Chain A
Amino acid sequence: MTSAERNVPVYCYQCVAGPDLLNVKTLDGVATEVEPNFSAAAIHPAAGKICVKAYGLIQKTYNPARVLTPMKRTNPNKGRVHDPGFVPITWDEALDMVADKLNRARARGLTDEAGYPRLAVSFGGGGTARSYMGTFPAFLGAWGPIDQSFGSGQGVKCYHSEHLYGEFWHRAFTVCPDTPLTDYVLSFGANTEASGGVTGVWRHAEARARGLERVQFEPHLSITGACSAEWVPIKPKTDAAFLFAMLHVMLHETPRQNLDLAFLGRRTGSPYLVGPQGYFLRQESSGKPLIWDTKQDAAVPFDSPDTEPALDGEFTVDAVETGADGQIWRHQGIGAQTAFSRLVAHVAPYTPDWAEAVCEIGPGTVRRITSAYLAHARVGATIDIGGATLPHRPVAISLGKTVTNGWGGYECCWARTLLACLIGGLEVPGGTLGTAVRLNRPATTRQASVTRGPDGFMDFPLNPTDRDNWQAVPKIRNAHGSLVPLSAHSPWSAALGPSHLAWMFLERTPDNWPEVTSPDVWFVYRTNPSISFWDTPTISERIAEFPFVVAFAYTLDETNYMADVLLPECTDLESTQLIRIGGTKYTEQFWDHEGFAIRQPVVAPRGECRDFTDIATELATRTGILSAYNQAINAGGAGLPLAGENYDHRLDPDRAHAGDAIWDAVCRAATGELTGGTESEGLDWFKRHGHRSRPISRLRWYLYPEILRQDIRFEMPYQERLRRIGAELANRLHEQDIHWWDRQLDEYQALPEYRDFPGLWEGAVVAAGATPEDFPFWLLTTRSMQHSWGANASLQIVDEVAGNIKGYRGVVMNADKAAALGIGDGDMIEVRSTLRATKGKAVLRQGIRPDTVLMAGQFDHWVTPFSKDKGGPSMNPLTPMSLELTDATGSAADLVRVAIRRLDQAPEPGS
């Protein structure tokens, strides 16, 4: 390396599967190359490798289309047809404009007349923006109530049911196979090789090399399907049917001793007795659920010592049932079945032959795969991990986005978690694991968030549904606290409500509901809901109605086109931030270390771009909340508390601090946390070394030891608690004469029944005034690894390399089906839903069902530089936001019925 060359360590966290640690090479002060930071190879789960998106960071920095000065709008009219007329202004002018609006809002009260926060914010996918916004979270923390309702993809583009039910059942915001130790994975649409990041790809490649058998269920042969041992082209939205049939085979066609009966008896609610009202039978004096002890031949509380619980059977007991709102039924000599017996009866109709009619997979395949699942489970096997002997169950089930999103998500998540329990494979080595907590607290580790509830299950911070505490007036516009008890009330919960409801209710607030208002001020950063949400033209119209929009802008895009002020922040290679690395996290991020990594200016900021931390400090100063802002930083607003045992690097709250001073304190606190306060390395040290970590026990990967330690049971199979909160929620809503959420209330079933999920989408076509036969195709999407979460559609290099993947910026359809329709490879076709039409080039493949078409990624840009000239369709403008397709968790699926025609063909009458 010459003296003019420099290697600068930074991180990339453009997607939820990060962070990746990299070095950026500079030549005479110009960033020229990106390469893995191999000094992290020993601590990183993927040998220090970095994702393809990181290689776009050079272009991202120097993109000539960047916004490089603050700008204000000169055209008061907003909308797609109105040129905003942005003109450059000074930072002082821009910050004064923003501060003025904020101060006015603050003066009028932090919430508006309807009770909603006047300040709203929307950030990019999966919390990734937080790794780039410096101390802005501290500003928001200091501000007061803030509305994060306006989704930019959450709820409609995420693993929503998995997030909510996963955290409920096993502290699993996302769920993952224990890839290094598993032998057999059933993957229902989980596109690990495209969205699992570097660690996902690396761990699965290693697993394949040692013989992992992965079966991919998906309507099209995705990247992950391509890398799997077998592809099963299942009909869209019928995954639950296959999983239910597996349950049937395991419970009706398999010798019971092939299951992990000990696990079921001791670590699940299977032996709990269920009463005629559908609630657990309880001991009246203690309120504890009862089990049948075969030693005493009597019903005893579940936590009685020295019992031998009956798993199966019907028994006569005296007990009480507790229903919604404290309703109690007292029973004498009543016949009671165990939850397990109820389950066995419940799945009896779901035979493989039944499943074939639903999901179009033959019964032989169901039985073969179930048999393999059982055989690989090795019930009874153990393994030593970190000095402890744990069960080893090397089988796992992964669920993908459209499987765990919208109707059917609950059923799939329940069946998957139950299938793991039946062989004792939940949260044990080789099995199905959770990765991180976002709704439960504390979030330091999954284990730390586990506490035992009164019924022996893990406690969970459900939003209250009782008469006294239910949120009759929502605190934010998506009403998650009122409508979705499972969304809990952590800082993440706001983003996990029914985010499309906020957009929909702006247009028309439903009956008997506080009118949903536009926020006085909306901050938007690293997200583009005008492209990434659904019914995107309508989203743009709603945004255009917002009175004051502040966009932290990289380039002009379809969302900030409606902004009043554009603030150009230093991007990835121009600013400073320290983040946590390691532990266990999203997707396949399972580390043997934990620590911190730095992002630092590799090159001088371009134009007048400013570091986000400096912007946050300025805004805090100009809005008079500097002290609260500094205190928020001290409390952890910059990623970690600045004081701990044996160290204290807190900032003076009463004066503004330079960005470097703030991050120096953060770095010293980070070192203090890692060393118990014995060391205090500052910003300069991190800038030189890039990262610092310490080893952790691999036992952190598994929840099972903590379950054992606290003698907890997984809340499976019977969802008594959900049934109760569903009934209570129904009571609350009906007391307000609210009935538009009734369909969602049906989801709160103790044992979910299979419903005709595809039929719901066909019903939506009918509801839109059309006939299902006119829209015979399913339109799906799939993630592009090169693009997903990256906000990099304007980068030429990313576009170029992504173009090597077939179907990129096109419409993939079955070659034989296309031939029957007279469509040739490369023909322009129109894809039309009941909402509107789009067009794209047909890409003909055999690896897709004849009834399915696919649009990868999200394009359809009309402002974003470069991408708008490249074209390419997106399913988003075609996908309606609708209450009828919204499930109880507030999510809906990336799925829509469409019609296809070649564009040189005349439209058919009526279409």
Chain B
Amino acid sequence: MTRYVMVADLRRCVGCQTCTAACKGANATPPGVQWRQVLDMEVGTFPDVRRVFVPVGCMHCGEPPCMEVCPTTATGQRDDGLVTIDYDLCIGCGYCAVACPYQARHISHRAAFAYGDQAMAPEVARFDEARVAVATKCTFCVDRVDKAKENGLVPGVDQEVTPVCVNSCIAGALHFGDRDDPDSAVSSLLAENATFRMHEDLGTDPGFHYVWDSE
């Protein structure tokens, strides 16, 4: 089996938002919609304070609450773990959005562009009516991942078939790959480091791991 997961090494992440911008560019998300974003968090009391940068987005859960509640079957899950949305089925009811504990789903009820109503040429070229008024979220760049088979490439290794956020990461913090492949880089990262998953206690089996220390 294959289970594609993302591994974010929080020790490396600097909160630069390069992945956020790269994702927005590659996926042509409208203003305010960030399938990938990096949180800027702080804990402690002056002067003993820590500041942490945390990439978040769809966790492509093994037990996706969004899929369970979706009344239309628009949300699906592939054998490789990717949680998908069929924009033609989705009715934009928002149930998945309130079921997701990661605030990863977005519904833009009308077309929106960077500078008001007038779309720029790239926005016109890439506008997709099907994504208006339905739920959208990080796809793990499924179109790129799916090119792996036809090209004999490995997602997470070959950049052509790797999610753009991973390709863009300037700190080497984001990694992508097959958790079920013991030889993959993400498996090694998980084996060799102390990791956690966010809100794991909710039983979602998130496919997004955070490295916070070495073992």
Contacts and interface: CB of A to CB of B under 8 A. Distances in A.
Query: Do A and B interact with each other, yes or no?
Result: yes
B164 A47 contact: no
Interface in B147-197: 159, 164, 167-173
Contact of A847 (B38, B39, B49, B125): B49
B198 interface: no
Contact of B42 (A194, A221, A223): A221
B23 to A, nearest CB: 9
B16 A52 contact: yes
B40 A806 contact: yes
B32 to A, nearest CB: 7
A55 B18 contact: yes
Contact of A64 (B11, B22, B34, B118): B118
A796 interface: yes
A38 interface: yes
Contacts of A209: 9, 11-12, 172
A424 interface: no
B44 A49 contact: no
**Main SS of chain A's interface residues?**
mixed
A245 to B, nearest CB: 19
Given A227-B14, A804-B39, A848-B46, A28 B125 contact: yes
Interface in A771-799: 785-786, 796-798
Contacts of B20: 52, 801, 804
B14 A64 contact: no
B121 interface: yes
B25 A201 contact: no
Nearest to A208: B11
Contacts of B28: 32
B122 A32 contact: yes
Contacts of A35: 22, 26, 164, 167-168
Contacts of B170: 46, 49-51, 198, 201-202
A226 B50 contact: yes
Contacts of A64: 115, 118, 120
A806 B49 CA distance: 15
Contacts of A798: 21
B51 A847 contact: yes
A205 B14 contact: yes
A193 B53 CA distance: 12
Contacts of B40: 804-806
A427 to B, nearest CB: 27
A50 B169 CA distance: 8
B14 A846 contact: no
A80 interface: no
B164 to A, nearest CB: 7
A702 B211 CA distance: 35
Contacts of B42: 221, 806, 845-847
B51 A804 contact: no
Contacts of A816: 45-46
Given A804-B15, A804-B40, A850-B46, A38 B25 contact: no
A546 to B, nearest CB: 31
A226 B114 contact: no
Interface in A227-270: 227, 231, 233
B115 A65 contact: yes
A35 B159 CA distance: 10
B125 A201 contact: no
A56 interface: yes
B125 A30 contact: yes
A35 B167 CA distance: 8
Nearest to B36: A801
A849 B46 contact: yes
B31 to A, nearest CB: 6
Contacts of A149: none
Given A52-B18, A226-B51, A796 B122 contact: no
A42 interface: no
B47 A231 contact: yes
A645 interface: no
Interface residues of A, number: 61
Interface string A12-51: 0000000000000001101111111010000000110111
Contacts of B16: 51-52, 193-194, 201, 785-786
Contacts of A193: 14, 16
Interface in A839-855: 845-850
A862 interface: no
B113 to A, nearest CB: 9
A32 B125 contact: yes
A908 interface: no
Interface size class of B (residues with CB under 8 A): 35 or more
A205 B9 CA distance: 10
Nearest to A197: B170
Contact of B51 (A55, A221, A786, A866): A221
A52 B120 contact: no
B105 interface: no
A782 to B, nearest CB: 12
Nearest to B160: A38
B171 A202 contact: yes
A59 interface: yes
B15 to A, nearest CB: 6
Contacts of B172: 47, 202, 205-206, 209
B99 interface: no
Nearest to A803: B17
A55 B27 CA distance: 12
Contacts of B171: 201-202, 205
B120 A786 contact: no
B12 A814 contact: no
A34 to B, nearest CB: 6
A805 B122 contact: no
Nearest to B164: A35
Given A796-B114, A804-B40, A55 B15 contact: no
A49 B17 contact: no
Contacts of A205: 11-12, 14, 171-173
Nearest to A64: B115
Interface string A807-828: 0000000111000000000000
B17 A802 contact: yes
B115 A63 contact: yes
A177 interface: no
B78 interface: no
A866 B114 CA distance: 10
Nearest to B124: A30
A55 B47 CA distance: 36
Nearest to B21: A55
A220 to B, nearest CB: 10
Contact of A223 (B14, B50, B124): B14
A235 to B, nearest CB: 12
A62 interface: yes
A55 B20 CA distance: 10
Contact of B15 (A38, A50, A208, A223): A223
A225 interface: yes
25 contacts: A32-B28, A36-B159, A36-B167, A46-B170, A49-B169, A52-B18, A55-B18, A58-B122, A59-B114, A202-B172, A205-B14, A205-B173, A221-B42, A221-B51, A231-B47, A785-B16, A796-B31, A796-B115, A797-B21, A804-B39, A814-B46, A846-B44, A846-B49, A847-B46, A866-B115
Closest 5 pairs (CB-CB, A-B) = A226-B51, A55-B21, A62-B120, A796-B114, A801-B17
Interface of B: 9, 11-12, 14-18, 20-22, 24-26, 28, 31-32, 34, 37-40, 42, 44-47, 49-53, 114-115, 118, 120-122, 124-126, 159, 164, 167-173
Interface of A: 27-28, 30-36, 38, 46-47, 49-52, 55-56, 58-59, 62-65, 193-194, 198, 201-202, 205-206, 208-209, 221, 223, 225-227, 231, 233, 785-786, 796-798, 800-802, 804-806, 814-816, 845-850, 866
Given A201-B170, A800-B34, 16 more contacts: A28-B125, A33-B26, A49-B169, A50-B168, A51-B18, A64-B115, A64-B118, A223-B15, A231-B47, A231-B49, A233-B46, A233-B47, A797-B21, A805-B17, A815-B46, A846-B44
